[in-house]
A = this chain, B = another copy of it.
Amino acid sequence: MKEIKVVRRVLDVNEMMADQNRRRFADSKVFVLNVMSSPGAGKTTLLEKTLEQLMPEVRCAVIVGDICTTNDADRLAKSGVDVVQVNTDEFGGDCHLAAHVIENAAANFDLAGLDLLIVENVGNLVCPAEFELGEQARVMLLSTPEGDDKPSKYPLMFRISNVLIVNKIDLLAHVPFSMEAFRRDAGLIQPDLIIFELSALTGQGLEPWLDWLRERVAERKAAG
Q: A interface vs B, CB < 8 Å?
A: 3-4, 6-7, 10, 38-41, 66-69, 71-72, 91-93, 95, 122-127, 130, 143, 145-147, 149-150, 152-156, 168, 170-171, 174-176, 201
User: Is there contact, CB below 8 Å, between B39 and A40?
Assistant: no
User: Is there contact, CB below 8 Å, between A124 and B153?
Assistant: no
User: Is there contact, CB below 8 Å, between A168 and B152?
Assistant: no
Using Cβ atoms and an 8 Å threshold, which residues of chain B touch A168?
145
Known: A10-B3, A39-B125, A39-B146. A68 touches B175 (CB 8 A): no
> Once the chains are docked, how many angstroms separate the CA of A201 from the CA of B147?
12
Using Cβ atoms and an 8 Å threshold, which residues of chain B touch A153?
39, 66-69, 71-72, 123
Using Cβ atoms and an 8 Å threshold, which residues of chain B touch A155?
67-68
Using Cβ atoms and an 8 Å threshold, which residues of chain B touch A147?
40
User: Is there contact, CB below 8 Å, between A126 and B95?
Assistant: yes
Using Cβ atoms and an 8 Å threshold, which residues of chain B touch A68?
152-153, 155
Known: A6-B6, A124-B124, A125-B123. A150 touches B93 (CB 8 A): no
